[in-house]
Chain A
Amino acid sequence: MAETKTIALTINGRDRKVAAPANATLLETLRELGYFEVKSGCEKGDCGACAVLVDGEAIDSCLALTWTVAGRAVTTVAGLSLGGAKHPLIEAFEKSGAVQCGYCTPGLIVAAQSMLKDTPEPDDDDIRLGLSGNLCRCTGYTKVFDAVRDAAAVLRGAESQA
């Protein structure tokens, strides 16, 4: 049996102490703790449904062992906000109708956020590159691209006002 130990990390801005076995993935741990917005898909790093931010950078939580994120800041889509308000990416996905069944949406938004951090003014190739690890079988991506473009503009506006 794999050893279990308690690690400290931050989840969505909240300091947590979490008991997890050595072989637990971050995906398994997050869902055990009730963060059901983090979805399990292919469990191979192809679909991106399980994406979360670790220190601001998106990773597939199915490919990370929980112990390896000790001391780091994990953010799920539910932890994204801007100055306490609804995050522009979430707003834009709703407005653009970039959501159908919704299973891929948390991962898409997390991946988009990670991409926009490096590339605040993305062209379509940048968006394609940023979302290349997220599969969506409903939307055909067109409205997803619309949403990311809109949110990028809103985020740039918020940045210039700050």
Chain B
Amino acid sequence: MYADFDLVIPETLDEALEALAGAVGGGNGGTQPLAGGTNMIVDLRARRVAPSRLVGLGRLDGLRGIRIADGRVRMGARTTMSDILRHPDLAGHAPSLVDQARVFGGQMVRNAATVAGNICSGSPAADAVPALLALDAEVTLASPSGTRVVPLSEFFLGYKRDARAPGELMTEIAWDIPPAHSSNRFYKLALRKGDAITVVGVAVALAAEDGKCGTARIALGAVAPIVKRATAAEAMLCGQALTPELIDAAARQAVDDVDPIDDIRASAEYRRHCVHALTRRLVTQAWERLT
């Protein structure tokens, strides 16, 4: 490869954090972490990034795996999309996350690409992010001076900008197991069913209380500089018994919550149309499962 850089492959998390200390978070140049490589190597080859040093995380087995205990799902940062598909229990309470893994790249990409890598890519089309936002996930960021937990809803600051301080490494993604009377769904609209970049991604999570919608989460991908929640639309659903009219009104509100662009895959107008249609469809499906 033309790109020129140093590569260190630490054996422990502490060594990795030392190696990353002082790194430039997310941007160009400096020291950057390397996980599955399915974004980084492509970006290096295209000269979109030019780090002087990469810190390979491949030997940090403690960062890989899914643990479900005490009402919480804890996913190591290096957990791959294939790990999500193989897990026996995840489809039961996070079908949205499993569904996005099924349509994430091709098999070889799913075998390498990590959840934290997808989040930290900062792409508004990152498929794991809508599902995790709708599940109210939190991310753990570590540095030699300690760790902190940040809600994923506060992680993205702007297009390819996030809350990581220089040198901070994402080590875990975690969320509470959704309550028994809840439902979550994800749909990816793309030009093909496999191995395609998302045109619009929608994740919905609803919880019912006494026949009404208790909490609602709607997260939208590839229709704004960051993956974002349609909070005004969510608010319209909370505390209500959902009717087709209300669901349609909330789906229209979701269109006002986004700011899509025209690009090679679709026009902004088409994306707005699909945000309405897909939000209405997914909220309807999620609600039907609860009533």
Which residues does A use to contact B, with CB under 8 Å?
1-3, 22-25, 28, 43-46, 48, 51, 57-60, 62-65, 67-68, 70, 111, 114-115, 118, 128-134
B195 in contact (CB, < 8 A): yes
User: Do the beta carbons of B38 and A111 come within 8 Å of each other?
Assistant: no
**Which chain B residues numbered 165 to 202 have a C-beta less than 8 Å away from chain A?**
194-195
User: Do the beta carbons of B34 and A59 come within 8 Å of each other?
Assistant: no
Chain B residues, CB < 8 A from A59: 108, 111-112
Given contacts A25-B1, A45-B42, A57-B82, A67 and B107 within 8 Å (CB-CB): no
Shortest CB–CB separation between residue A5 and chain B, in angstroms? 9
User: Do the beta carbons of A28 and B1 come within 8 Å of each other?
Assistant: yes
User: Do the beta carbons of B58 and A133 come within 8 Å of each other?
Assistant: no
Given contacts A44-B42, A60-B112, A65-B41, A22 and B7 within 8 Å (CB-CB): yes
B49 in contact (CB, < 8 A): no
Chain A residues, CB < 8 A from B36: 63
User: Do the beta carbons of A1 and B4 come within 8 Å of each other?
Assistant: yes
**Which chain B residues numbered 92 to 129 have a C-beta less than 8 Å away from chain A?**
102, 105-112
Chain B residues, CB < 8 A from A51: 108
Chain B residues, CB < 8 A from A64: 37, 41, 112
User: Do the beta carbons of A23 and B3 come within 8 Å of each other?
Assistant: yes
**Which chain B residues numbered 111 to 161 have a C-beta less than 8 Å away from chain A?**
111-112
User: Do the beta carbons of B108 and A67 come within 8 Å of each other?
Assistant: no
30 pairs, A vs B, C-beta closer than 8 Å: A2-B5, A22-B5, A23-B1, A23-B4, A28-B1, A44-B42, A44-B45, A45-B108, A45-B109, A48-B106, A51-B108, A57-B111, A58-B107, A58-B108, A62-B41, A63-B36, A64-B37, A65-B37, A68-B34, A70-B9, A114-B107, A115-B107, A129-B102, A131-B106, A132-B105, A133-B106, A133-B107, A133-B110, A133-B195, A134-B107
User: Do the beta carbons of B107 and A24 come within 8 Å of each other?
Assistant: no
A46 vs B45: C-alpha distance in the bound complex, in angstroms?
Answer: 14
Shortest CB–CB separation between residue A136 and chain B, in angstroms? 12
- In the A-B complex, list the 8 residue pairs whose CB atoms are closest, starting with the nearest: A133-B106, A132-B194, A22-B7, A60-B108, A132-B106, A63-B41, A133-B108, A68-B58
Residues 185-225 of chain B, each 1 if its beta carbon lies under 8 Å from chain A, else 0? 00000000011000000000000000000000000000000
A131 vs B107: C-alpha distance in the bound complex, in angstroms?
Answer: 7
Chain B residues, CB < 8 A from A131: 106-107
Which listed residue, A2, A62, A111, A128, touches B194 by the CB 8 Å rule?
A: A128
A146 vs B4: C-alpha distance in the bound complex, in angstroms?
Answer: 44
**Which chain B residues numbered 33 to 60 have a C-beta less than 8 Å away from chain A?**
34, 36-38, 41-42, 45, 54, 56, 58
B265 in contact (CB, < 8 A): no
Given contacts A44-B42, A63-B37, A64-B37, A22 and B108 within 8 Å (CB-CB): no
Shortest CB–CB separation between residue B109 and chain A, in angstroms? 5
A131 vs B9: C-alpha distance in the bound complex, in angstroms?
Answer: 31
A63 vs B39: C-alpha distance in the bound complex, in angstroms?
Answer: 8
User: Do the beta carbons of B109 and A67 come within 8 Å of each other?
Assistant: no
A57 vs B82: C-alpha distance in the bound complex, in angstroms?
Answer: 10
Which listed residue, B4, B7, B56, B111, touches A114 by the CB 8 Å rule?
A: B111
Given contacts A68-B56, A132-B106, A58 and B1 within 8 Å (CB-CB): no
Chain B residues, CB < 8 A from A118: 86
Chain A residue, CB-CB nearest to B42: A44
Shortest CB–CB separation between residue A25 and chain B, in angstroms? 6
A90 vs B5: C-alpha distance in the bound complex, in angstroms?
Answer: 39
User: Do the beta carbons of B6 and A2 come within 8 Å of each other?
Assistant: yes
Chain A residues, CB < 8 A from B58: 68
Chain A residues, CB < 8 A from B34: 65, 68
